[in-house]
Amino acid sequence: MIDFQKVIESIYVELKDDINRGEIASYIPELSTIDSQNFGIHLKHIDGNSYSSGDWNIPFSIQSISKVLSLAFVFPIYKDTIWERIDVEPSGNPFNQLSLLELENGIPRNPFINAGAIVIADMLVSHFDNPKHEFLNFIKDLTNDQTINYNYDVAKSEQRTGFRNYAAANLLKAFDNLENHVDDVLDFYFHQCALELTCEQLSNAFFMFANHGICLQQKKRLSQSQAKRINALMLTCGFYDEAGEFAFEVGLPGKSGVGGGIIAVLPNHFTITTWSPGLNQKGNSLIGMKALEKFTTKTNLSIF
């Protein structure tokens, strides 16, 4: 029997004073003020137990991690028609790269690069009168936590500086892969990225991916097959152009965001979230990746 609390604490102690912490994302000005010393880990086991260490209870900007949750929200609504508008291949390119989108006629490589997530956002804007409200309720429901909210300053900050996202959305529109107005779709997209959750809330929100589509409140949110497919996408496309490295070092499906969060899943076992805002050159949390590598090495638990 693995003592998860002991393992997590030992990893926290080994890494908390590491001086090599990476760079805080500054291209979204509002994110640049976060203290790089923050570091938290939280594990939610499907048996209901939780284990944590460090700053696991401080809300942070989940950024691209939200792309998995927006996909999970549209999947039961649009089903496999999603894949007529978005592919399921790793891009091997940065999250905001545009040239591939042009070359491939406006079909984003996968739902976790920005262009793909913008198409998912378009589906939500088409389906709901108030998509921001509905998406927030979905997250509150998944976590059973009514306190979760968007950080409106972060959303505004991105609205002011997200030129590449405007470019991607316009390109999608030019290729007829966006039904709604660019501004409406990006308004939703910037808010979903600006959601703030703690490590614990994220572990809880992702519980359904470890539990065949059934969330923490025991509601069936995804079919078993849909949960499987999203886990496959996290493994192959969840870490920008470092998905191979993450699979190699850690060996779990997961997703990172430029706010410094990483969520990883071992189906049938647990979800684990780390948060440390300093990023490596590929945009993934430096300490978070180290922590998860140590975790799967020490516990011998991975999908491989």
Catalytic (active-site) positions: 64, 67, 189, 240, 258
Report the residue from 52, 53, 64, 211 that binds ligand GLU according to the rule CB under 6 A.
Answer: 64
Of 188 and 295, which CB lies nearer to ligand GLU in the complex structure?
188
Q: CA-CA distance, 5 to 3, in Å (whole number)?
A: 6
Identify the bridge partners of residue 264 per DSSP, sorted by sequence position: 254, 272
Of 200 and 242, which CB lies nearer to ligand GLU in the complex structure?
242
Residue 276 Cβ, how far from ligand GLU at the closest point, in Å? 14
Of 12 and 240, which CB lies nearer to ligand GLU in the complex structure?
240
Of 158 and 200, which CB lies nearer to ligand GLU in the complex structure?
158
Q: Please count the other Cβ atoms lying within 10 Å of the Cβ belonging to residue 270.
A: 25
Report the residue from 52, 53, 91, 114 that binds ligand GLU according to the rule CB under 6 A.
Answer: 114
Side-chain-side CA neighbours of 228 within 13 Å: the count stands at: 3
Q: Is 165 in the site for ligand GLU (CB under 6 A)?
A: yes
- The distance from CA 165 to its chain's CA centroid, rounded to whole angstroms, is 17
Q: Is 239 in the site for ligand GLU (CB under 6 A)?
A: no
Sheet holding 270-275, edge to edge: 50-54, 40-45, 270-275, 261-266, 254-256
Residue 5 Cβ, how far from ligand GLU at the closest point, in Å? 29
- The distance from CA 52 to its chain's CA centroid, rounded to whole angstroms, is 19
Of residues 250-279, those binding ligand GLU (CB under 6 A) = 257-258
Of residues 281-300, those binding ligand GLU (CB under 6 A) = none
Nearest to 258 by CA among 144, 161, 131, 139: 161
Residue 302 Cβ, how far from ligand GLU at the closest point, in Å? 24
Q: Which residue has the tokens 């009514």?
A: 146
Report the residue from 95, 150, 207, 275 that binds ligand GLU according to the rule CB under 6 A.
Answer: 95
Residue 258 Cβ, how far from ligand GLU at the closest point, in Å? 4
Three-class SS of residue 197?
strand
Q: CA-CA distance, 50 to 48, in Å (whole number)?
A: 7
Q: Is 96 in the site for ligand GLU (CB under 6 A)?
A: yes
Q: Which residue has the tokens 């780390």?
A: 274
Report the residue from 30, 122, 158, 200 that binds ligand GLU according to the rule CB under 6 A.
Answer: 158
Q: CA-CA distance, 103 to 114, in Å (whole number)?
A: 16
Residue 123 Cβ, how far from ligand GLU at the closest point, in Å? 17
Of 118 and 250, which CB lies nearer to ligand GLU in the complex structure?
118
Q: CA-CA distance, 275 to 291, in Å (whole number)?
A: 10
Give the footprint of ligand GLU on this chain (CB under 6 A).
63-64, 95-96, 114, 158, 165, 193, 257-258
